[in-house]
């Protein structure tokens, strides 16, 4: 916090006319001055303490690990929340289908006042005087048979609910996969910044060394100018790496649905500290695993089951329906209140009804036939969707398997390339120090080493990414698994 300083201007004081004070006035003035001194002393102490306090941070850095990033994404991602809402909606549909097996119960009541000539519904007599009336009834109905439409509808809804659960699981896997990809891009860009920073420091050190050589006359001044240009190029590459890092960081923040105005740091080990031990995979085993566990395939299978039950629902319209119903009613009329009390009328006027209703469909303008054919087409389309999804899964698994093998081979190639480039740089540097190599050779060796280091870091992180790609396309991606194991 910036320090606060009190400035007093003593050059201009208002003119005060001299006044003669008594002893009491002098004592009062002395006490007032003492209190003022204490007040100003306390104020000065407070200002001094405030001046020593540290300045507040405008934006505090939030450190986020990979597991925290996954938790944040699963909690905030719009696709995950939408899938969860769809799952809840389908659960409500199942509840509604189950409730169709229950009877319905209704309670009705009414008050009326009649004028002029009318028929009293309670006494069934003609009346010409004003009469008040009250009635109430309770009724219930229950479906006994409707061609098993209720059963098929419930099974279709349950299959759709199970399919929605698989879709929700696949959505979470997709979000985790997106987080992995964005997170690896950020730490790879950060690793490239370290590599470019080391290269720039090495180029600056070489510049000072060449300047000393030029001063003693062992190297031409052109080497100095050429090295200055090389240093400037290294600085430009560092700026490009920093820009790439910021862009990748922004994309990760977008994936995590974080506050774009916040400041975040994402933790990850350096490429040298990452385990690069490859695992053995078999393409056929991976395919069987994917066909068995992929949530999107399981969801499509449930769509087929739901479509099959929808065909049964459509066919149920061919069958007759049988339902039972019953009701109880009573009424009261003011025309009879002098003879019967309110309670007696309700008891005497009570009536009960129970019945069965049978409906046999004969012809409904081909609606039943059309609905059956439509549901059968939808069932066949669901089967085709599953076949197409299986072909896509097979392609994804085989392609990811080949990419993983390539990433594994790149680990060995880039490791050898980095070792060779480092040894070549050391040899050329020693030769240059002995005036046995040109600056062009040294610059080329330095560029080759920097490029090899960058490719090595990219190979390491690409290897771990391809491992997660394998898990994602097999449907075994675990959100709780650490990024680097």
pTM comes to: 0.79
- Interval 470-484: pLDDT, tens: 999 999 998 888 777
Mean pLDDT of 307-336: 92
In the predicted model, is pLDDT for residue 48 greater than 80? Answer: no
Tell me if residue 272 falls in helix, strand or coil: helix
Closest CA to 190 of 75, 99, 296, 267: 267
- Interval 261-280: pLDDT, tens: 899 999 877 777 778 888 89
Which of the 8 DSSP states describes residue 271?
A: G
In the predicted model, is pLDDT for residue 58 greater than 60? Answer: no
Mean pLDDT of 4-14: 34
> What is the four-CA torsion angle of 369, 373, 376, 380, rounded to 10 degrees?
170
Which class does domain 104-145+320-360 fall in? mainly beta
Q: For position 406, what pLDDT does the model report?
A: 96
In the predicted model, is pLDDT for residue 248 greater than 90? Answer: yes
Residue 141 near residue 324 (C-beta atoms within 8 A): yes
Which residues are paired to 135 by β-bridges? 110, 331
**How do 131-145 and 321-333 pair as beta strands?**
antiparallel
Tokens 């820009």 identify what position? 243
Closest CA to 81 of 241, 257, 304, 201: 257
Residue 362 near residue 341 (C-beta atoms within 8 A): no
In the predicted model, is pLDDT for residue 49 greater than 50? Answer: no
Q: For position 174, what pLDDT does the model report?
A: 96
Q: Span 66-102+146-319+361-474: which CATH code? A: 1.20.1600.10
In the predicted model, is pLDDT for residue 53 greater than 70? Answer: no
Q: In whole angstroms, give the CA distance from residue 381 to residue 22.
A: 111
Provide CATH 2.20.200.10 ranges for the chain.
Answer: 104-145+320-360
The two tokens of residue 445 are 């060796």
Q: For position 112, what pLDDT does the model report?
A: 84
Q: Which of 39-43, 67-71, 253-257, 276-280 has the lowest mean pLDDT?
A: 39-43
The two tokens of residue 9 are 């201007």
Which residues are paired to 266 by β-bridges? 64
Q: In whole angstroms, give the CA distance from residue 446 to residue 433.
A: 14
- Interval 190-246: pLDDT, tens: 999 999 999 999 999 999 999 999 999 888 999 999 999 999 999 999 999 999 999
Provide CATH 1.20.1600.10 ranges for the chain.
Answer: 66-102+146-319+361-474
Of 121-135, 231-245, 341-355, which one has max mean pLDDT?
Answer: 231-245
**How do 263-266 and 321-333 pair as beta strands?**
unpaired
439 φ/ψ angles, rounded to the nearest 5 degrees: -65, -30
Residue 150 near residue 98 (C-beta atoms within 8 A): no
- Interval 407-462: pLDDT, tens: 999 999 999 999 999 999 999 999 999 888 999 999 999 999 999 999 999 999 99
Tokens 């010409």 identify what position? 128
Tokens 């799952």 identify what position? 87
pLDDT-derived band at 5, boundaries 50, 70, 90: very low
Q: pLDDT over 70 for what percent of the chain?
A: 84
**How do 118-119 and 104-114 pair as beta strands?**
unpaired
List own/partner pairs for 68-73 with CB under 8 A and 24 or more apart.
69/179, 69/183, 69/252, 69/256, 69/266, 70/176, 70/179, 70/479, 72/256, 72/257, 72/258, 73/175, 73/176, 73/178, 73/179, 73/255, 73/256, 73/257
Sorted by sequence, the CB contacts under 8 Å of residue 418 that are 6+ apart come out as 449, 452, 453, 455, 456
Q: Please give the radius of gyration of the chain, using alpha carbons only, rounded to the nearest integer.
A: 43
- Interval 140-163: pLDDT, tens: 999 999 999 999 999 999 999 999
């Amino acid at each position: 916090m910036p320090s606060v300083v009190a400035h007093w201007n003593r050059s201009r004081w208002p003119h005060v006319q001299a006044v003669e004070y008594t002893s009491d006035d002098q004592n009062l003035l002395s006490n007032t001055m003492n209190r003022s001194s204490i007040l100003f002393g306390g104020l000065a102490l407070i200002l001094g303490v405030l001046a020593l306090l540290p300045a507040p941070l405008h934006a505090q850095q939030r450190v986020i690990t990979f597991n925290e990033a996954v938790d944040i994404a699963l909690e905030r991602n719009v696709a995950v929340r939408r899938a969860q809402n769809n799952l809840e909606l389908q659960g409500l549909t199942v509840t509604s289908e189950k409730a169709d097996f229950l009877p319905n119960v209704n309670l009705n009541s009414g008050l009326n006042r009649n004028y002029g000539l009318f028929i009293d519904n309670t006494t069934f007599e003609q009346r010409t005087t004003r009469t008040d009336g009250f009635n109430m009834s309770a009724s219930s109905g229950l479906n006994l048979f409707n061609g098993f439409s209720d059963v098929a509808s419930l099974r279709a809804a349950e299959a759709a609910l199970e399919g929605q659960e698989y879709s929700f699981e696949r959505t979470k896997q997709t979000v985790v996969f997106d987080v992995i990809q964005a997170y690896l891009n950020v730490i790879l860009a950060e690793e490239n910044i370290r590599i470019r920073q080391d290269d720039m420091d090495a180029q600056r050190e070489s510049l000072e060394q060449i300047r000393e050589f030029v001063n003693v006359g062992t190297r031409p001044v052109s080497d100095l100018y050429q090295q200055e240009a090389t240093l400037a190029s290294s600085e430009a590459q560092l700026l490009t790496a920093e820009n790439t890092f910021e862009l990748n960081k922004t994309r990760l923040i977008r994936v995590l649905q974080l506050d774009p105005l916040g400041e975040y740091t994402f933790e990850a080990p350096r490429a040298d500290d990452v385990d690069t031990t490859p695992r053995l995979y078999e393409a056929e085993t991976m395919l069987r695993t994917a066909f068995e566990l992929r949530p999107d395939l399981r969801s499509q299978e449930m769509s087929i089951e739901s479509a099959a039950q929808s065909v049964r629902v459509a066919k149920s319209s061919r069958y007759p329906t049988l339902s039972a119903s019953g009701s109880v009613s009573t009424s009261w009329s003011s025309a009879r209140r002098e003879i019967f009390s309110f309670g007696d009328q309700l008891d005497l006027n009570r009536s009960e009804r129970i019945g069965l209703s049978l409906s046999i469909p004969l012809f409904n303008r081909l609606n039943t036939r059309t609905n059956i054919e439509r549901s059968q087409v939808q069932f066949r389309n669901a089967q085709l969707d599953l076949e197409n999804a299986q072909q896509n899964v097979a392609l994804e698994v085989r392609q990811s398997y080949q990419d993983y093998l390539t990433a594994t081979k790149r680990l060995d190639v880039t490791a050898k390339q980095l070792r060779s480039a480092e040894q070549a740089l050391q040899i050329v540097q020693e030769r240059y120090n002995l005036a046995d190599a040109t600056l062009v050779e040294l610059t080329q060796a330095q560029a080759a080493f920097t490029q090899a280091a960058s490719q090595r870091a990219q190979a390491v992180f690409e290897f771990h990414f391809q491992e997660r790609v394998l898990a994602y396309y097999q449907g075994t991606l675990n959100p709780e698994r650490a990024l680097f194991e």
